[in-house]
């Protein structure tokens, strides 16, 4: 089975722009979660989608949004980019989104905001 | 809110030796799960081992084992017979039951295995 894939792997944007990141979960997985990883704040939960519905949301401003499609693929969008949004964005998928499920992570998208 | 603390930002160990990484957490929940994830320099995060809080027996996966002390809220990872491929960032993570997939991570421990 193919693992979790994320595109693009690298992105460079300027302040004020918006960006969309994509995540394709493992086949058969219905839950997708997003995390932001920075040297200063570490790994922080952004949001989780299950069956096209957002189930949980972390403590991030409304500029961060996401969605999930019927094939379980997910996108996250960041509008009005700020320098502090520079980070590695990881997505993870699991079979059913239960807390006991193992989450499988993708390689991440490295976003640099100039 | 749950918090996870890894008090050792960096550690090193000689190849073939044993190393223990520490993790403590704070929660008022009684039903939860704990994980150790490994993030090698290539950045793909992979699960090393998991522990269900309701299980008293410590989890073991080949060279990896945990020491789970529920009362002390401690969850350390022991790596035996360390290998060069174990060089990575290690993250301790917590999730309480019915939290969906909302993991709370510790700050990480950078482990270097030296030849």
Kindly identify which residue of chain B lies nearest to residue A99, measuring between CA atoms. Answer: B100
What pLDDT score does A112 carry?
Answer: 98
- At residue B6, the 3 state secondary structure works out as coil
Q: For every residue of A65-103, which 3-state class applies, written as one string?
A: EEEECCCCCEEEEECCCCHHHCEEEEEEEECCCCCCCCC
Across the interface, whether the CB atoms of A103 and B103 are under 8 A apart is answered yes
Kindly identify which residue of chain B lies nearest to residue A5, measuring between CA atoms. Answer: B44
- Cis peptide bond prior to A8, omega within 30° of 0: yes
Nearest to B105 by CA among B49, B36, B31: B36
Q: What is the pLDDT of residues A57-69, one digit of tens each?
A: 999 999 999 999 9
Mean pLDDT, chain A, rounded, equals 95
What pLDDT score does A101 carry?
Answer: 87
Measured between CB atoms, does A100 come within 8 Å of chain B? yes
Distance of CA A83 to the CA centre of its chain: 18
Across the interface, whether the CB atoms of B101 and A94 are under 8 A apart is answered yes
Measured between CB atoms, does B2 come within 8 Å of chain A? no
> What is the interface size between A and B, counted as CB pairs within 8 Å?
68
Q: Which residues of chain B have pLDDT under 70?
A: none
**Band of pLDDT at residue A99, cut at 50, 70 and 90:** confident
Using the structure block, give the residue that is written with the tokens 């193992």. Answer: A102
- Per-residue pLDDT for A104 more than 80? yes
What pLDDT score does A97 carry?
Answer: 81
What pLDDT score does B29 carry?
Answer: 87
Which residues in chain A have their CB less than 8 angstroms from residue B97's CB?
99-100
Measured between CB atoms, does A102 come within 8 Å of chain B? yes
Which residues in chain A have their CB less than 8 angstroms from residue B96's CB?
99
Alpha-carbon gap, residue B49 to B68, rounded angstroms: 12
Structure tokens at A76: 């996250």
Nearest to B77 by CA among B59, B94, B103: B59
Alpha-carbon gap, residue B77 to B67, rounded angstroms: 7
Give the mean model confidence (pLDDT) for residues A24-43: 95
Neighbour count for residue B2 (Cβ, 10 Å): 16
Q: What is the pLDDT of residues B72-100, one digit of tens each?
A: 999 999 999 999 999 999 999 999 888 88
- Per-residue pLDDT for A7 more than 80? yes
What pLDDT score does A1 carry?
Answer: 73
* A residues 18..47 contacting B (CB < 8 A): 31, 33, 35, 42-45
Alpha-carbon gap, residue B32 to B27, rounded angstroms: 9
Alpha-carbon gap, residue B65 to B80, rounded angstroms: 8
Give the mean model confidence (pLDDT) for residues A69-95: 97
CA B110-B113-B115 angle, 5° bins: 155
Best of A43, A46, A89, A106 to substitute, by most chain B Cβ atoms within 10 angstroms, is A43
């Amino acid at each position: 089975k193919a693992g979790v894939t994320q595109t693009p792997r690298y992105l460079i944007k300027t302040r004020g722009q918006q960006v969309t990141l994509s995540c394709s979960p493992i086949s058969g997985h219905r839950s997708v979660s997003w995390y932001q990883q920075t040297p200063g704040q570490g790994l922080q939960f952004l949001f989780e989608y299950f069956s096209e519905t957002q189930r949980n949301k972390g403590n991030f401003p409304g500029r961060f949004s996401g969605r999930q499609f019927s094939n379980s693929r997910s996108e996250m969008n960041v509008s009005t980019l700020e320098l502090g949004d520079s980070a590695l964005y990881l997505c993870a998928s699991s079979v059913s989104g239960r807390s006991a499920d193992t989450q499988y992570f993708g390689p991440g998208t490295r976003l640099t905001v100039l | 809110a749950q918090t996870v603390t890894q008090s050792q930002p960096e550690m090193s160990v000689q190849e073939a030796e044993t190393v223990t990484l520490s993790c403590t957490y704070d929660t008022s929940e009684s039903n939860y799960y704990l994980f150790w994830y490994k993030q090698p320099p290539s950045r793909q995060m992979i699960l090393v081992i998991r522990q269900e809080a309701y299980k008293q027996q410590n989890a073991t996966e080949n060279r990896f084992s945990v020491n789970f002390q529920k009362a002390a809220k401690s969850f350390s990872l022991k790596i035996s017979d360390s290998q060069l491929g174990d060089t990575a960032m290690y993250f301790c993570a917590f999730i309480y039951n019915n939290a969906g997939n909302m993991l709370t991570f510790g700050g990480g421990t950078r482990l270097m295995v030296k030849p």
